[in-house]
Amino acid sequence: MGVSERMPRADAGARRRADAFEAFDVVFAGERVLVGGAFVAAEVGVRGGRIAAIAPRSGADAARPAGGHRVDLARDEVLIPGLVDTHVHVNEPGRTEWEGFASATRAAAAGGVTTILDMPLNSIPPTVSVDALAVKRAAADGRVFVDVGFWGGLVPGGQGDLLPLHEAGVFGFKCFLVDSGVPEFPPVAADEMERAMAVLADAGSMLIVHAEDAALIAAAPNPHGRDYADFLASRPREAEQAAIRSVIDAARRTGASAHILHLSSGDALPELARRAPRACRSPPRPARTTSCSPPRTSRPARPRPSAARPSARPRTATRSGRVSPTARST
């Protein structure tokens, strides 16, 4: 949808009357504003932390947002929508020294991220019940500078908490099939994961999974030094591939939506591409993965230059600092 479609043309009198009633907290204007998938010259009016109007920047008949504070972008700047980071560990309460809501959301806003989704583990308590979610929301209240939503957690014996958490507004659920690294968020077995998937499929929710086979990890050699090859030997590729197969099979049997987290082995990709689209109910949902691991090689990874180095510096429409913060997931 182009800018002109978002802001219908009107006669000059109607536009003057509209301007008399339209007041914005800030107006951003630039030659390169991302609207409808294309960069155009436009102005963006923001009210109460939300985009209230988008209008063409030039032209005699263009409706121009009226506002007291105006920001004109430099020629090497672009205006883009705020980004959404769906994988954030805020860790408050309980481990706020690792990262708390204030520092996490300030950093997000500084980087153009206007919404974060907080993972259910590393905080104490983890977000595995409605009561724990209430503790999370109370910890976030008054300390957030961008929009915040929450993932729920699946731990052993927690199946009864899934639907209440879903109704309370979490965006989906996370589980580990291997030790998570923190004792208060233990892993689930594959059969319990599948039972949870059946519940979530009926609710229309999603399960995101750290997929490594616990038995294969336990049988692997423990790393005995700081050598990267030793670490790789302790996390064999087959442990990930076996666990991913169990996730795909469970999704196929239950019709649940699943997402593989922390993917570290490219060997799993062909199987995901081949089997995952057929594992879900019609219409098929695409297989999705995320990775935060370095390449699997015994040699240190070298930084690689970007394929493209854009000359433009991005900004977001939250530059005024008037983001409407919320600690509730909607």
pLDDT (tens digit per residue) in 80-91: 988 999 999 999
Scored b (16 or more CB within 10 A) or e, 241-253 reads bbbbbbbbebbbe
Residues in a beta bridge with 316: 80
Q: What is the DSSP string of 6-29?
A: HS----HHHHHHHHHH--BSEEEE
**Could you list the pLDDT tens digit for every one of the 330 residues in the chain?**
333 334 444 445 445 434 533 578 888 999 999 999 999 999 998 888 888 889 888 654 444 555 568 889 999 999 998 899 999 999 999 999 999 999 999 999 999 999 999 999 999 999 999 999 999 999 999 999 999 999 999 999 999 999 999 999 999 999 999 999 999 999 999 999 999 999 999 999 999 999 999 999 999 998 888 899 999 999 999 999 999 999 999 999 999 999 999 999 888 888 888 876 554 443 444 445 555 444 443 333 332 222 222 333 333 333 333 222 233 332
What pLDDT is recorded for position 104?
97
Q: How far is CA 122 from the centre of its chain?
A: 17
Sequence-separated (6 or more) residues with CB below 8 Å from residue 88 = 104, 108, 116, 117, 118, 119
- What CA–CA distance (Å, rounded) separates 172 from 163? 10
Q: What is the DSSP string of 315-330?
A: EETTTTS----B-S--
What pLDDT is recorded for position 213?
97
What pLDDT is recorded for position 15?
52
- What CA–CA distance (Å, rounded) separates 154 from 159? 7
Task: Quickly tell me which residue has 């976030």 as its tokens.
Answer: 140
Give the Cα-Cα-Cα angle 188, 190, 196 (nearest 5 degrees). Answer: 75
Q: Report if pTM > 0.95.
A: no
Pairing mode, strands 77-80 and 313-316: parallel
Tally Cβ neighbours within 10 Å of residue 204. Answer: 9
Token pair in block for residue 269: 């990709």
The domains of the chain, with CATH numbers, are 3-80 (2.30.40), 83-278 (3.20.20.140)
User: Which of 131, 27, 119, 21 shows the shortest CA–CA distance to 69?
Assistant: 27
